[in-house]
Structure 1
Amino acid sequence: SKAGTIISAIPAQSVILRTLELPFSDERKIREVIRYELEPHIPYPVEEVIVDFCILERQERGAKVLVAAVSKEVVADHLSLLQEAGIEPEIVDLELFGDLNTYFALYPSEKGEEVVGLVNVGASKTTLKVVQGKRLLLARSISKGGNFITEAIQKKLHLSFAEAEEKKLTEGETAEVFAVIQTALATLAKELEYTFFSYMARAGEERELQAIVLSGGGARTPGISEFFSQHFEVPVHRIGKEERLTALFPQIPPLSSSFTVGLGLALRGLNRSAQGMNLRQEEFSFRKSYEEIKGHLIFAGIVLLLILGLHLGTFYYRLGQKEERYQQIRSQIHAVFRETFPQTRVVDPIQQAKQKIQEGKNKLKAFGGITGAQLSSLEILRELSEKIPPTIKVDVFDLLISTESISMSGKTDSFDSVDNLKKNLETSDYFESVKVTNAKVGLDEDTVEFKLLIILQKS
């Protein structure tokens, strides 16, 4: 596994496995209900077991799920034993997934959609995993393993268990011992066959085994490969004899089939997408040591400071660039203002420029407008001269023209002349209204002084 990561496995005989079909495939929902779905299938109260699962197959309306239940007492004993040896596993998996990941590493693709039985013959139990391609179809354990064969030899030949085990491995091909082994293997094969076909019948599937891959210590039993090949009528391979094992992992010493679980767990440590479960849950959840957490925090702090320093450096660099650019633009504005208004002292060039522009607009309005919507002063004088009849003698004292109105002060010979002057001016299309604001007899009593307010048309 990765440096600092330890993965252990609970043996098959301590695990209850069940395959359930659920009406949904979302992992979060499955985790919420799986404990209660499993309750009718286990002999313990659900509060006393650790439960985990893996999805075997996502279907159109749900999922087929492999569920594992392990007594909390078993998990506690497992962790306690390892901790006494100074070992703290981050993940507690099942042995069956060790076999499975080793198989997928050794047979990555050439088996295609072939249905293969992975048989791990342990000391007290044999596990059967049936896979098709990369999919796990079935996982079951049988309470007979290598010890079952040894005990048969012990009973038949009246030997001690140790003597029977030695004869099984060293004299297994002799007629007397071989006959006992064959009888025991026949019992084991029938149970494997029954397990496989009963599952297929319940699942409503018609699949046949096309190959068997043996592993575990019991796979070293003389004649086991040949017996299973004849019984199931399929080719049988033993992982410990595979040349591809040393070809794939040349840095690892030659392994027997007994080490497939350990190799598979190590492969999971290297590849977190590999299949597996984790029984370190609830009160057994993995907690890193204070020193490890402290080390991670220090490392994270250093990285954070480096990132912060990088951002601050970038910020001040960009700020300096912007300040330099600002000074360049400011100098250019001063130069343009001095060139445009050479007689004006520069204080605030932008505000001064706005003021100069407004003054220019006002002057332009007075002498012809900017857009043509306003009358010029010359046009107003021409309109006044055209609208004052030659028969009326008018002397103008003051004439004040703005963008909105005209104020006229003068004198004429009578009040009737003032009234006629008003009426004639009202005929102009440029004047909205004409109002006499004052009219009185002049000082010489032969004239009338008047004041007119003329409102200009707005457009």
Structure 2
Amino acid sequence: MKIIPKTVVGIDLHDHLVQLVELRQSNGDTTLRAYNRVVIPEGVIKDGAIQNEEDFKTILKALIRNANPSKVDTKAVAIILPPRIIFTHIFAFPAALSKKDISRALPYEAEIVIPYPMKDLYWDFAILDRDDSNGDSKQYQYIMFAAVEKAVADKYTKTLDAIGIKPMLYGVHVEALKYALESQIPQEGKSLIIEVGALSTNYLTIKHGHIKHFISSNEGTSHLIDDISSEFKVSKDELFAKWENHKEDPKFSEKIREFVNSKYKMATDIILAKQETKKEKVQNIILTGEFSNLPGFYEIAKKQFGKRNIIIGDPKKGLLIEDDRFIQKGSASKAPYSIYFTNAIGVALDALKSKEGSNINLIPSWLKRQFLSKKIEVAIIAGSLAMAIISLSIAGFVFYKHLTSSFERESLEVKKSNIELTLYGTRYQDVKEDLEAFNTEVITLSNIDNGLFSLPQTITMIYELMPEGITINSFKYKDSDMSVSISGIADERSSLLEMQDNLDNSEFIDAAEMPLSSFDTKSSIPFQVNITLIFSSLPEYASN
């Protein structure tokens, strides 16, 4: 239980809308403190990327300043970037691999499915579900991988920094959906969440609290609004700004019905057909998203999904809300704050509830280093204060001991002076040169001895680091730079990863360099590794 309340601002943005919530967590409860929702004019953000920085900064300032009921504090901000700029994929890895092994292998696997070089991306991953009950190497763990282009993420970060915001988290929709609806997802059986957003429709399958599948369609409500705008000659900005009124217009009903049917058809044909088995069915359908209140959305779902349990996913159900805080001045009506804020609430809860390092965070590497530096700085300050208190506590004792020992010290100094006069007498000067010559010879012999080490024992120690499945064909030692070159064959990639890990963690090896090409294949892998030894850690010459 946290005694000190923690507050986080969650922001969800895309081409047409930006939404904000402020959540506070205290004593296990999460309270909604503020919210706001602003339409973004066409051209400010396009396909998820910022096109007009100045207009975007003006919109964000207004979003924060005019939040209901009051301006929010932006010290801790978590953001969901537009879905069109985020790439996600679920990989399967052997259950025996550690998180460190997965981190090494992921770039090679990801480059197969991502249309960008890994060096141009910020990426992260999270372990979704691990099955290692009996250690069988045929069992798998499932990894959610996410990435964003560095140029796009850096532009968002620098634009936010210009108005005083340093985001602590760039989250992903899959985790935000899970946290936003966590209190409503049944623990028994599989649940399919259908989130209808402006730029995408997302399908998330969850079982026993674990993410199983995630598919994102690039067609969201903006596609529907584009069709309506084109056919009925209505401004898209006008439709987004007053969608609550326009969606009830009878002349738009046929377009809306076609859109809803197409989203449910995808859920039936692609999601349910591929993810269900005879033994395991999707039992619950959860409908949510900022545009999930389309006319007929619930009724069509009841017909489309048969006997399955249909649930309206309302993210506010897991929050404490004081309704009176949000009544507008001069009006008795309350502003809506439920389905419109699914992802904003979800990313804020992600930042509040998840353990550090367990969630996916796509903020730039340089910003992560800044946060780490601040944590180290706080730790140093706390340590300095503790040391100051300890120092003050013992200062009096030391001062007292200093005074009581003054007389004894003076007496000892007199005796020391007498001894020094004796030692530095005439006889000492006669033998001084002989002593210096002797010491020089000892130092010379010590340097010769320290320059030797046991090469046979060093080779034995290197061979002991080789795991099963590694066959060594060549072993070359180079004396000039204390290096060893080893080539051979690895049965499979896991053996190669284990060998790399053993070499990296060895106390007598400074560096172990292996070309990336060694990981291109999965079995019978030829490799070459160059090892640089640490001389001071090697066994001495003639040692056992």
Aligned CA distance change for structure 1 residues 49 and 250 (closer, same or farther; 3 Å):
same
* Counterpart-to-counterpart distance in 1, 2:370 and 2:241: 44
* Counterpart-to-counterpart distance in 1, 2:391 and 2:102: 42
Q: How does 1:395-410 map to 2 (within 5 A)?
A: none
SS in 1 for 2:267: helix
Deviation at 1:137, TM superposition (A): 0.7
Deviation at 1:175, TM superposition (A): 4.2
Aligned CA distance change for structure 1 residues 294 and 170 (closer, same or farther; 3 Å):
same
1:383-411 per-position Cα deviation (integer Å, ceiling 9, x unaligned): xxxxxxxxxxxxxxxxxxxxxxxxxxxxx
* Counterpart-to-counterpart distance in 1, 2:384 and 2:273: 58
Deviation at 1:298, TM superposition (A): 3.1
* Counterpart-to-counterpart distance in 1, 2:273 and 2:340: 28
Deviation at 1:293, TM superposition (A): 6.5
1:20: which partner in 2? 91
* Counterpart-to-counterpart distance in 2, 1:30 and 1:315: 55
Deviation at 1:269, TM superposition (A): 2.8
Corresponding position: 1:285 with 2:368: yes
Corresponding position: 1:238 with 2:306: no
Aligned CA distance change for structure 1 residues 301 and 121 (closer, same or farther; 3 Å):
same
The letter for the 2-side match of 1:107 is: Q
The answer as to whether partners of 2:184 and 2:313 remain within 8 angstroms in 1 is: no
The answer as to whether partners of 1:116 and 1:131 remain within 8 angstroms in 2 is: yes
Q: How many residues align?
A: 309
Aligned CA distance change for structure 1 residues 282 and 243 (closer, same or farther; 3 Å):
closer
Aligned CA distance change for structure 1 residues 211 and 264 (closer, same or farther; 3 Å):
same
SS in 1 for 2:181: helix
* Counterpart-to-counterpart distance in 2, 1:34 and 1:314: 58
- Computing the radius of gyration from Cα coordinates, the structure with the larger value is 1
User: Which gives a bigger RCO, structure 1 or 2 (Cα 8 Å, sep 6+)?
Assistant: 2
1:159: which partner in 2? 234
* Counterpart-to-counterpart distance in 1, 2:207 and 2:369: 33
The answer as to whether partners of 2:180 and 2:345 remain within 8 angstroms in 1 is: yes
1:69-113 per-position Cα deviation (integer Å, ceiling 9, x unaligned): 221122112212211221001222213322211211x237xx122
1:188: which partner in 2? 263
Corresponding position: 1:144 with 2:222: no
Deviation at 1:260, TM superposition (A): 2.0
Q: TM-score, normalised by structure 2?
A: 0.51
Aligned CA distance change for structure 1 residues 290 and 243 (closer, same or farther; 3 Å):
closer
* Counterpart-to-counterpart distance in 1, 2:91 and 2:387: 47
* Counterpart-to-counterpart distance in 2, 1:206 and 1:14: 37
- Within the candidate set 56, 70, 82, 1:11 is matched to 82
Aligned CA distance change for structure 1 residues 36 and 199 (closer, same or farther; 3 Å):
farther
* Counterpart-to-counterpart distance in 1, 2:366 and 2:268: 39
SS in 1 for 2:247: coil
Q: How does 1:371-386 map to 2 (within 5 A)?
A: none
Aligned CA distance change for structure 1 residues 83 and 175 (closer, same or farther; 3 Å):
same
The answer as to whether partners of 1:168 and 1:222 remain within 8 angstroms in 2 is: no
- Within the candidate set 64, 89, 107, 2:184 is matched to 107
Aligned CA distance change for structure 1 residues 280 and 244 (closer, same or farther; 3 Å):
closer
- Within the candidate set 76, 95, 100, 2:173 is matched to 95
Deviation at 1:58, TM superposition (A): 0.9
2:342: which partner in 1? 260
- Within the candidate set 212, 217, 223, 2:296 is matched to 223
The letter for the 1-side match of 2:204 is: K
- Within the candidate set 113, 118, 127, 1:55 is matched to 127
Q: TM-score, normalised by structure 1?
A: 0.59
In angstroms, what is the RMSD of aligned CA positions? Answer: 3.3
* Counterpart-to-counterpart distance in 2, 1:210 and 1:118: 11
2:516: which partner in 1? none
* Counterpart-to-counterpart distance in 2, 1:162 and 1:2: 33
1:77: which partner in 2? 155
Moved more, 157-166 or 39-48: 157-166
Deviation at 1:277, TM superposition (A): 0.5
SS in 1 for 2:347: helix
Instruction: State, as a whole percentage, how many aligned pairs show the same letter.
Output: 20
* Counterpart-to-counterpart distance in 2, 1:52 and 1:302: 36
For structure 2, the 5+ residue unaligned runs are 1-5, 9-74, 133-138, 327-335, 402-544
* Counterpart-to-counterpart distance in 2, 1:72 and 1:287: 17
The answer as to whether partners of 1:239 and 1:245 remain within 8 angstroms in 2 is: no
The answer as to whether partners of 2:197 and 2:291 remain within 8 angstroms in 1 is: yes
Aligned CA distance change for structure 1 residues 32 and 221 (closer, same or farther; 3 Å):
same
The answer as to whether partners of 1:18 and 1:67 remain within 8 angstroms in 2 is: yes
Q: How does 1:160-179 map to 2 (within 5 A)?
A: 160-162=235-237, 164-165=239-240, 169-173=244-248, 175-179=250-254
* Counterpart-to-counterpart distance in 2, 1:90 and 1:162: 31
* Counterpart-to-counterpart distance in 1, 2:364 and 2:225: 37
Aligned CA distance change for structure 1 residues 150 and 75 (closer, same or farther; 3 Å):
same
The letter for the 1-side match of 2:77 is: I
1:40: which partner in 2? 112
1:18-44 per-position Cα deviation (integer Å, ceiling 9, x unaligned): 111112342111111111111100111
The structure with the largest helix share of the pair is: 1
Aligned CA distance change for structure 1 residues 244 and 91 (closer, same or farther; 3 Å):
closer
